[in-house]
Amino acid sequence: MSPVEAKRALRAEIKRKLMQLSDSDITRASDSAMLLLGNWNVFRGANTILFYYPIQCEINIWPLAKVAMKNGKVILLPKFNDSLKTYEPVIVRHELDLSPGKFQIPEPDSDEKIHQTNKLDLLLVPGVAFALDGSRLGRGKGYYDRLLAVTQGIKCGVCWDFQVLDNIPAEMHDKKVDFILTPTRIISTTSRFENEFSS
């Protein structure tokens, strides 16, 4: 089986598990993940943080972004650049400053970017699955891979515990994360930031 075929099969398997989740499952898991994230020293020390807006049973950590905004952190969300066919990190000044984007996912209304658009303190990244070595399986379009390729900062995948696997099919263009956040734990996938890791 080729990597492309293996990825397709794994996406289908994960989707079946996600479709079995109830609203109460998602709420409980999201609350647990936000508690871990909010107490993590990497998150507490970050001034510029890229969040994501959850879709299709993803862990919902967006409420923590609204709290972080009020506490003075610079919060960003991915905004799709149709001409470049990629996402770019754009600042969110208020939780209401969002509109459905190209894929009907809420995006910032403005195009305001940080002065160094490639340098963030922390990037919180969704995915279909993550491996213990930091490999990430996305939805197959490569949009997040292109964003991660040009953005510096600590990268943390966010997912359910069943989405963390020993290994996943990977290709050269797939970008890795430094940590993985689930509702029960924070996993370090690299020694690069081991002094900053604390759950």
pLDDT of 99-113, one tens digit each? 998 889 999 998 888
What is the phi/psi pair of residue 155, to 5°? -110, 125
Residue whose entry in the numeric block shows the structure tokens 């996402």: 87
Q: How many CB atoms lie within 10 A of CB 67?
A: 12
Which among 171, 158, 193, 162 has a CA at the least distance from the CA of 33? 158
Q: How many residues does the chain have?
A: 199
Per-residue confidence (pLDDT) for residue 83, from 0 to 100: 84
Each residue's pLDDT tens digit, 53-69 = 999 899 999 999 999 99
pLDDT value at 39 more than 90: yes
Domain positions in the chain are 3-191
CA atoms within 13 A on the CB side of 122: 29
Which among 102, 62, 109, 75 has a CA at the least distance from the CA of 86? 102
Query: What span, in angstroms and rounded, lies between the C-alpha atoms of 150 and 105?
Result: 22
CATH superfamily placement of domain 3-191: NagB/RpiA/CoA transferase-like (3.40.50.10420)
Each residue's pLDDT tens digit, 149-192 = 888 899 999 999 999 999 988 776 778 999 999 999 999 998 76
